[in-house]
A and B are shown apart, each in its own frame.
Chain A
């Protein structure tokens, strides 16, 4: 019953958001059926579109895992975007150095570099200051996120990682570190089986870590009741640092996977916002690693579907941002739904009683 409810509520929240979105679309003078139709077909309509959706959702899923993990540890890692970019930067740097290494080893090294960079970025400053002086992680992770993005920008705009020439971009990573794409079906989608496998492993690892290990038990204890965790003999400060570091590790991994699988170099822009969307992904999944797959795909679909929607029906793609906002709103206040049901029941029973009494 409870397990069912925990699935139904986010789904209901999403549905309510979609319905309100439809009303909005209709109010703007479009046909909501065709608009949503173009959104769905843009996301899932062809193998290529499906591939694009998966490509867009992979970073969301991997970052979302880390954010879910920090939430379960009672911490709000709001700076995953910076951890993602610092991971990406580290992976790219390793990717165009050490070119004499065999491809697979070089790939692993890039991924490790990304994970380590993300973990350090979240673990050292936000983690240690949270644990030892109580600095709030929402502020510190956010600040560190700006630093990461500005640092990465400096590196490619005149900094040591800029490729020769005038364009602010890094050199391409060695071609044997670039993940091979599917040769059939998903050709257009920049989708690699390796990325998908890494994401799957990340999901399983996060789930296993949270629910099957003493580390996860300790993290969840700290998240649910730090005082009881201390009483239980858990070193709360250590686990605060670990939680943030692990959260950053996933974000860094996402950055590395994105570089090796899609971008192959650092480009100016840094405006993917994956780190922020992933917060919603984790929330919608109720911080359950397995749920993150579904909510990650959902938001990936919104992104790719939204682009198609703009082309096919002239509705601005930013409508998907509105949808996203509505979903955040309804997931955030999902308590309202049981309350409305309760209110309705009370009213009905009150009406049934009044003539009797």
Chain B
């Protein structure tokens, strides 16, 4: 088959960093080509170069056999490259049709709305991207917003579609729909470049995979015949343990009990509607659920960040319902929040300040209100070493670290406080295989040491592989609690939509 896009020995060097250092890639017509690599492997840089956002240091890009030099995304778009970024570039206040045509509106001086709607409708029928052109983008789900982005690309006559981490923000259902869209495109002959660090998705959707590591393309292989293990090893460059090894649970006395808890979120909506839950020492209790069903508000309420409207939270026999977040921290609740950059870290602080964020009011980090910087530095040095944070320099600002290393810092801080209960909300979101392995190992280690772990995740595989018991949450309620070893994806999937478990607790 004729190559659509070729990248030959591409290099993109930044001062001190070789983000791309010898990238070779051939995308054929009508194939779904996955680019797989850990965070920081150079996938995004490569895409930016292809899309004209960055100029390459050396090397060549050929489109349909012709060498191209893009000075800006506009050149790339004109040449037929369509890109859907991980973070959408949409205007929420405008309608779908307005967003799609934005920058290339039909009509002369006057904007021809009717024609815009008409064109968008045609496109959405042709590519089977069902969407209402008149809907306001701000009202759409993330999955539908992504369709708008894809439509935008085709409106600009894209001949190659690049999807940058397209499933990062999608629910499992939305991911499935996206995959159907990709299959339709493929059947139409449009090549799709699918950038991801999720092995199972790459295996499911792609025809060929190019693996990147440390700025270089390691290998391109046919997806048929590849296994998660081979891909993971290629990505990381060593044998990776994909399955979490854990001894049978030795669940002890209840560490955390939640009774009849009702919580309103910051926008005053009731999100948790009467939850009863017990987490025992030495077990991982997983909470499965589709995003937005109250699981993160539950976590915030236990940590004390949201007020309990009703009900009781009991830690180790002690009622903590009305204690402040600081007091709960003190009593042994550790919390890895869902959004590490928004809640878990102060990005402009360096690592030494971030590791003492929860404890700066106590010795040795301060005495009588005076900070002891040296103690913070010594502590940071220890944690950085123990958790292999890179770069190993406590003077670095948190913002200068990769997502995986930011998460390591949070985990190090929370776990090292020797907590009684660890609440981990989406602890591996956006992390790569190697980093996920590390986080999972920490959670299991805590459990084996007899701590209680409350794991909240949107990734069913993570819940299934780690949890000793699984509580499924839907619309602010616990639909049922299953045994972790016996639960199946199908069962959980059904319960996540609100159907009660046939047997078991209600």
Contacts and interface: CB of A to CB of B under 8 A. Distances in A.
Interface stretch (B82-90, B270-278, B342-350): B342-350
B432 interface: no
Interface string B349-361: 1000100011011
Given A213-B369, A233-B324, A357-B69, A225 B347 contact: yes
B370 A212 contact: yes
A5 interface: no
A227 B300 CA distance: 12
Contacts of A228: 342-346, 357
Contact of A227 (B335, B342, B353, B369): B342
A231 B335 contact: yes
B344 A224 contact: no
Main SS class of interface, A: helix
B14 to A, nearest CB: 12
B326 A221 contact: no
A214 interface: yes
Contacts of B303: 231
B419 to A, nearest CB: 14
A85 to B, nearest CB: 31
Interface string A214-227: 11110011001101
B484 interface: no
Given A217-B360, A221-B357, A224-B349, A231 B343 contact: yes
A235 interface: yes
B366 interface: yes
A215 B360 CA distance: 10
A215 B369 contact: yes
Contacts of B373: 212
A197 B345 CA distance: 39
A224 B343 CA distance: 11
Contacts of A8: none
A221 B358 CA distance: 11
A136 interface: no
B329 interface: yes
Interface in A217-256: 217, 220-221, 224-225, 227-235
A232 B329 CA distance: 9
Interface in A229-288: 229-235
Contact of A221 (B69, B327, B335, B346): B346
A131 to B, nearest CB: 16
Contacts of B349: 220-221, 224
Nearest to A216: B371
B59 to A, nearest CB: 12
B294 interface: no
Contact of B343 (A220, A227, A234, A357): A227
A219 to B, nearest CB: 12
Contacts of A214: 360-361, 366, 369-371
A213 B324 contact: no
A300 B347 CA distance: 35
Contacts of A225: 342, 345-348
A36 B305 CA distance: 57
B427 interface: no
A230 B357 contact: no
Given A214-B371, A225-B342, A232 B324 contact: no
B325 interface: yes
Q: Sorted from nearest, which 10 A-B pairs have the closest CB atoms?
A: A233-B326, A232-B357, A233-B325, A225-B346, A214-B366, A231-B343, A224-B348, A224-B346, A214-B369, A228-B346
Interface of A: 211-217, 220-221, 224-225, 227-235, 357
12 contacts: A212-B373, A214-B369, A214-B370, A214-B371, A217-B371, A220-B349, A221-B349, A224-B347, A228-B345, A228-B357, A231-B303, A232-B325
Given A221-B357, A227-B342, A231-B343, 5 more contacts: A214-B370, A231-B325, A233-B325, A233-B361, A357-B69
